[in-house]
Protein backbone atom coordinates (compact mmCIF):
# COMPACT_ATOMS: atom_id res chain seq x y z
CA UNK A 1 0.00 0.00 0.00
CA UNK A 2 1.44 3.35 -1.06
CA UNK A 3 0.46 6.04 1.45
CA UNK A 4 1.25 9.72 0.88
CA UNK A 5 1.55 11.67 4.13
CA UNK A 6 1.31 15.45 4.10
CA UNK A 7 3.40 16.96 6.85
CA UNK A 8 5.76 14.04 6.46
CA UNK A 9 8.35 15.42 8.89
CA UNK A 10 5.87 15.90 11.73
CA UNK A 11 6.07 13.92 14.93
CA UNK A 12 3.03 11.76 14.21
CA UNK A 13 3.97 11.39 10.55
CA UNK A 14 7.47 10.08 11.27
CA UNK A 15 6.02 7.50 13.64
CA UNK A 16 3.43 6.50 11.05
CA UNK A 17 6.08 6.19 8.35
CA UNK A 18 8.09 3.81 10.53
CA UNK A 19 5.02 1.66 11.20
CA UNK A 20 4.01 1.50 7.55
CA UNK A 21 7.52 0.72 6.35
CA UNK A 22 7.90 -2.02 8.98
CA UNK A 23 4.82 -3.85 7.72
CA UNK A 24 5.87 -3.62 4.08
CA UNK A 25 3.86 -0.62 2.92
CA UNK A 26 5.41 2.28 1.01
CA UNK A 27 5.02 5.59 2.85
CA UNK A 28 5.78 8.81 0.99
CA UNK A 29 6.42 11.92 3.06
CA UNK A 30 5.43 15.29 1.62
CA UNK A 31 7.78 17.84 3.19
CA UNK A 32 8.53 21.55 2.81
CA UNK A 33 12.28 21.64 3.30
CA UNK A 34 15.12 19.64 1.75
CA UNK A 35 16.79 19.69 5.17
CA UNK A 36 14.08 17.28 6.36
CA UNK A 37 14.81 14.62 3.74
CA UNK A 38 17.26 12.57 5.80
CA UNK A 39 14.89 12.22 8.76
CA UNK A 40 12.02 11.06 6.56
CA UNK A 41 14.21 8.58 4.71
CA UNK A 42 15.51 7.26 8.03
CA UNK A 43 11.88 6.54 8.97
CA UNK A 44 11.65 4.30 5.91
CA UNK A 45 9.71 6.65 3.66
CA UNK A 46 10.19 8.01 0.19
CA UNK A 47 10.29 11.79 -0.04
CA UNK A 48 8.55 14.40 -2.14
CA UNK A 49 9.45 18.03 -1.47
CA UNK A 50 6.27 20.07 -1.88
CA UNK A 51 5.29 23.16 0.12
CA UNK A 52 1.51 22.96 0.39
CA UNK A 53 1.36 26.68 1.18
CA UNK A 54 3.12 27.60 -2.05
CA UNK A 55 2.00 25.24 -4.79
CA UNK A 56 -1.00 24.22 -6.83
CA UNK A 57 -3.11 21.15 -7.37
CA UNK A 58 -1.05 19.98 -10.35
CA UNK A 59 2.16 19.56 -8.34
CA UNK A 60 0.36 17.92 -5.43
CA UNK A 61 -1.41 15.58 -7.84
CA UNK A 62 1.97 14.47 -9.20
CA UNK A 63 3.01 13.54 -5.66
CA UNK A 64 -0.07 11.30 -5.40
CA UNK A 65 0.73 9.27 -8.52
CA UNK A 66 0.26 5.58 -7.68
CA UNK A 67 -1.03 6.27 -4.17
CA UNK A 68 -3.62 4.05 -2.49
CA UNK A 69 -4.30 6.46 0.37
CA UNK A 70 -3.39 9.88 1.70
CA UNK A 71 -3.02 11.15 5.25
CA UNK A 72 -3.21 14.81 6.16
CA UNK A 73 -0.85 15.14 9.11
CA UNK A 74 0.36 18.68 8.44
CA UNK A 75 0.00 21.57 10.86
CA UNK A 76 1.35 25.06 11.27
CA UNK A 77 2.83 24.03 14.60
CA UNK A 78 3.59 25.83 17.87
CA UNK A 79 4.65 29.43 17.54
CA UNK A 80 2.84 30.05 14.26
CA UNK A 81 0.31 32.84 14.00
CA UNK A 82 -3.38 32.83 13.21
CA UNK A 83 -2.88 33.28 9.47
CA UNK A 84 -0.79 30.13 9.10
CA UNK A 85 -3.44 28.11 10.93
CA UNK A 86 -5.68 28.89 7.99
CA UNK A 87 -3.11 28.39 5.23
CA UNK A 88 -1.81 25.07 6.64
CA UNK A 89 -4.43 23.45 8.85
CA UNK A 90 -7.33 24.44 6.61
CA UNK A 91 -6.25 25.36 3.09
CA UNK A 92 -3.53 22.73 2.72
CA UNK A 93 -5.96 19.98 3.70
CA UNK A 94 -8.39 21.17 1.02
CA UNK A 95 -5.59 21.28 -1.55
CA UNK A 96 -4.58 17.70 -0.73
CA UNK A 97 -8.22 16.60 -1.02
CA UNK A 98 -8.48 18.36 -4.40
CA UNK A 99 -5.47 16.40 -5.58
CA UNK A 100 -6.84 13.14 -4.19
CA UNK A 101 -10.09 13.62 -6.09
CA UNK A 102 -8.19 14.51 -9.24
CA UNK A 103 -6.02 11.39 -9.01
CA UNK A 104 -8.78 9.02 -7.92
CA UNK A 105 -7.21 8.33 -4.52
CA UNK A 106 -10.32 7.66 -2.45
CA UNK A 107 -8.91 6.82 1.00
CA UNK A 108 -8.22 10.01 2.95
CA UNK A 109 -7.44 10.18 6.67
CA UNK A 110 -7.35 13.63 8.22
CA UNK A 111 -5.71 14.27 11.57
CA UNK A 112 -7.73 16.99 13.24
CA UNK A 113 -8.03 17.92 16.93
CA UNK A 114 -10.42 17.48 19.80
CA UNK A 115 -12.28 20.76 20.08
CA UNK A 116 -12.93 21.04 16.37
CA UNK A 117 -16.60 21.52 15.60
CA UNK A 118 -17.21 23.47 18.79
CA UNK A 119 -16.72 27.09 19.85
CA UNK A 120 -13.12 27.60 21.02
CA UNK A 121 -12.39 28.46 24.63
CA UNK A 122 -12.13 32.29 24.61
CA UNK A 123 -9.59 32.12 27.42
CA UNK A 124 -7.04 30.41 25.16
CA UNK A 125 -6.52 33.39 22.88
CA UNK A 126 -6.76 34.41 19.25
CA UNK A 127 -4.31 31.88 17.85
CA UNK A 128 -6.06 28.95 19.50
CA UNK A 129 -9.39 30.20 18.18
CA UNK A 130 -7.90 30.42 14.67
CA UNK A 131 -6.56 26.87 15.02
CA UNK A 132 -9.91 25.41 16.05
CA UNK A 133 -11.66 27.39 13.32
CA UNK A 134 -9.20 26.08 10.72
CA UNK A 135 -9.59 22.47 11.85
CA UNK A 136 -13.37 22.83 11.85
CA UNK A 137 -13.42 24.26 8.33
CA UNK A 138 -11.02 21.56 7.08
CA UNK A 139 -13.30 18.88 8.49
CA UNK A 140 -16.36 20.47 6.89
CA UNK A 141 -14.60 20.63 3.53
CA UNK A 142 -13.64 16.96 3.68
CA UNK A 143 -17.12 15.79 4.63
CA UNK A 144 -18.55 17.39 1.51
CA UNK A 145 -16.31 15.33 -0.76
CA UNK A 146 -16.94 11.99 -2.41
CA UNK A 147 -13.93 10.37 -0.75
CA UNK A 148 -13.57 7.48 1.68
CA UNK A 149 -12.60 9.86 4.45
CA UNK A 150 -12.00 9.37 8.14
CA UNK A 151 -11.41 12.28 10.51
CA UNK A 152 -9.40 11.51 13.65
CA UNK A 153 -9.42 14.05 16.49
CA UNK A 154 -6.69 13.21 19.01
CA UNK A 155 -6.73 14.62 22.50
CA UNK A 156 -3.72 16.34 24.05
CA UNK A 157 -0.65 14.84 22.39
CA UNK A 158 2.22 13.53 24.48
CA UNK A 159 5.64 12.09 23.80
CA UNK A 160 5.08 9.18 26.18
CA UNK A 161 5.71 5.68 24.84
CA UNK A 162 2.60 4.23 23.29
CA UNK A 163 0.64 1.75 25.37
CA UNK A 164 -1.41 0.48 22.45
CA UNK A 165 -4.57 1.05 24.48
CA UNK A 166 -7.05 3.69 23.37
CA UNK A 167 -10.58 5.00 23.42
CA UNK A 168 -11.65 5.61 19.82
CA UNK A 169 -15.25 6.63 19.27
CA UNK A 170 -17.56 9.17 17.71
CA UNK A 171 -17.84 12.40 19.67
CA UNK A 172 -18.26 13.33 22.37
CA UNK A 173 -15.37 11.55 24.06
CA UNK A 174 -14.18 12.82 27.41
CA UNK A 175 -11.10 15.02 27.00
CA UNK A 176 -7.79 13.39 27.74
CA UNK A 177 -4.25 12.83 26.50
CA UNK A 178 -2.87 10.32 24.03
CA UNK A 179 0.71 9.44 23.04
CA UNK A 180 1.69 10.27 19.47
CA UNK A 181 2.78 6.63 19.17
CA UNK A 182 -0.80 5.52 19.67
CA UNK A 183 -2.20 8.10 17.25
CA UNK A 184 0.15 6.76 14.57
CA UNK A 185 -0.85 3.19 15.40
CA UNK A 186 -4.55 4.03 15.02
CA UNK A 187 -3.97 5.71 11.65
CA UNK A 188 -1.96 2.73 10.44
CA UNK A 189 -4.74 0.36 11.50
CA UNK A 190 -7.45 2.46 9.81
CA UNK A 191 -5.79 2.77 6.43
CA UNK A 192 -6.09 -0.70 4.86
CA UNK A 193 -9.76 -1.46 5.44
CA UNK A 194 -13.19 0.14 5.49
CA UNK A 195 -13.53 0.64 9.24
CA UNK A 196 -14.05 4.28 10.09
CA UNK A 197 -14.96 5.46 6.61
CA UNK A 198 -17.26 8.50 6.69
CA UNK A 199 -16.81 8.80 10.47
CA UNK A 200 -15.43 11.52 12.72
CA UNK A 201 -13.61 9.88 15.62
CA UNK A 202 -12.13 11.21 18.83
CA UNK A 203 -9.08 9.51 20.28
CA UNK A 204 -7.59 9.42 23.77
CA UNK A 205 -5.79 6.85 25.85
CA UNK A 206 -8.08 4.12 27.10
CA UNK A 207 -8.24 0.40 27.77
CA UNK A 208 -8.98 -1.08 24.33
CA UNK A 209 -6.15 -2.42 22.13
CA UNK A 210 -5.75 -0.39 18.94
CA UNK A 211 -6.66 -3.18 16.53
CA UNK A 212 -9.74 -4.08 18.56
CA UNK A 213 -10.84 -0.43 18.72
CA UNK A 214 -10.59 -0.16 14.94
CA UNK A 215 -12.38 -3.47 14.32
CA UNK A 216 -15.25 -2.24 16.49
CA UNK A 217 -15.92 0.50 13.91
CA UNK A 218 -16.60 -1.98 11.12
CA UNK A 219 -20.14 -1.78 9.79
CA UNK A 220 -21.01 1.43 11.56
CA UNK A 221 -23.37 3.63 9.57
CA UNK A 222 -22.28 7.21 9.01
CA UNK A 223 -24.09 9.49 11.45
CA UNK A 224 -26.50 12.06 10.06
CA UNK A 225 -24.67 14.89 11.78
CA UNK A 226 -20.90 14.31 11.84
CA UNK A 227 -19.93 17.59 13.45
Q: Is residue 222 part of a domain?
A: no
Of 131, 188, 204, 214, the active-site residue reads: 131
Altogether, the residues listed in the chain come to a count of 227
Query: What's the mean pLDDT in 17-30?
Result: 98
Whether 33 is catalytic is no
Contact between residue 204 and residue 174 where contact means Cβ atoms under 8 Å apart: yes
| CA-based torsion, 166, 214, 222, 110: positive or negative | positive
Q: Which tens digits make up the pLDDT trace of 124-149?
A: 899 999 999 999 999 999 999 999 99
* Residue ranges making up the domain that contains 28: 2-215
User: With 50 as the cut, is the pLDDT of residue 192 above it?
Assistant: yes
Q: Report pLDDT for 222.
A: 60
Structural domain includes residue 223:
no
- Whether 227 has a pLDDT exceeding 60, the answer reads no
- How many other β-carbons are positioned within 10 Å of the β-carbon of residue 150? 25
- Contact criterion met (CB below 8 Å) for 151 and 110: yes
Global confidence as pTM: 0.95
Is the bond leading into 207 cis (omega within 30 degrees of zero)? Answer: no
Q: Which residues contact 99 (CB under 8 A, 6 or more apart)?
A: 57, 60, 61, 63, 64, 105
pLDDT level of residue 15 (50, 70, 90 thresholds)? very high
For range 216-221, the mean pLDDT: 82
User: How confident is residue 175, by pLDDT bands cut at 50, 70 and 90?
Assistant: very high
Instruction: Output the domain CATH number for residue 146.
Output: 3.40.50.720
Q: Is residue 22 part of a domain?
A: yes
Number of domains into which the chain is organized: 1
Question: With pLDDT > 70 as the criterion, what percentage of the chain qualifies?
Answer: 97
Q: Report the alpha-carbon distance of residue 112 to residue 200 in Å, rounded.
A: 9
Does a structural domain hold residue 210? yes
CA distance 111 to 180: 12
Residue 23 lies in a domain: yes
Q: How confident is the model at residue 219 (pLDDT cuts 50, 70, 90)?
A: confident
177 in any annotated domain: yes
Residue 223 has pLDDT above 60, yes or no: no
Amino acid sequence: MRVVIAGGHGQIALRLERLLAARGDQPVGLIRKPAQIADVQAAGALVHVCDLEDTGVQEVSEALLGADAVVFAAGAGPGSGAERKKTVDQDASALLADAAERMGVRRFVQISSMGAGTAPDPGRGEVWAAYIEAKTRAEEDLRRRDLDWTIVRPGRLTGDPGAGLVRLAEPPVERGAVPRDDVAAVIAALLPGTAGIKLTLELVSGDTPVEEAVRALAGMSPPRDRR
